[in-house]
Amino acid sequence: MRVVPFFRRSAFARAMFPMAALLATAGIAVPAPAAAHATPAAAHAAPASADDPPPGSVPPDEDPFYAAPANIGSYRAGQVVASRKITPKVGDLDSTTDVWQISYRSNDSHLAPQLVVTSLLVPKKAWTGNGPRPIVSVQAAEDATGTQCAPSYGLSSGSVIAAWSAVWSTQLLDKGWAVAMPDHEGPKSVFMAGPQAGHAVLDGIRAVKNFTGAPGIGKFNAWTLNGYSGGAQATGWAAQMQPSYAPDVKLKGAAMGGTPADPEAVARFLDGGPFSGFEAAAAASLATEFPEMNIDPLLNEEGRKAIAQARGKCLTEILGAFAFKKLSDYSTVPDPLAAPSVRAVLKLNTMGAAAPAAPIFNYHANTDEIVPVAQADKLVKDWCAKGAKVQTTRSWIGEHALEMVFKNGEVLTFLSDRYAGKPAKNTC
With CA atoms as reference, report the closest residue to 310 among 332, 288, 290: 288
DSSP state of 93: H
Task: Detail the DSSP E strand segments found in 203-327.
Answer: 223-228, 251-257
Q: Catalytic residue among 184, 199, 364, 400, which?
A: 400
Active site residue 229: yes
Chain center to CA of 415: 18
Cα distance between residue 155 and residue 157, in whole Å: 6
Query: Which of the following is catalytic: 157, 229, 276, 331?
Result: 229
DSSP 272-293: TSTTTHHHHHHHHHHHHH-GGG
Q: Which residues of 50-75 are buried (b: 16+ CB within 10 A; e: fewer)?
A: eebeebbebbbeebebbbbeeebeeb
Rounded Cα gap, residues 35 and 206, in angstroms: 14
**Per-residue CA distances from 216 to 180, 221, 356 (Å):** 14, 8, 28
Instruction: Show the beta-strand stretches assigned E in 202-306.
Output: 223-228, 251-257
In the set 157, 368, 382, 395, the catalytic residue is 368
The backbone torsions φ and ψ at residue 189, rounded to the nearest 5 degrees and listed phi first, read: 50, 65
| Rounded-to-integer distance, Cα 415 and Cα 428, Å | 19
Q: Which residues pair with residue 98 across a beta bridge?
A: 122
Q: Is 368 a catalytic residue?
A: yes
Torsion-angle region of 421 (φ positive above 0: left; ψ -120 to 50: alpha; else: beta):
left
Reduced to 3 states, what is the DSSP secondary structure of residue 365? strand
State yes or no: is 400 an active-site residue. yes
**Stretch (H or E) spanning 86:** strand 80-86
Q: Which residues are catalytic?
A: 229, 368, 400
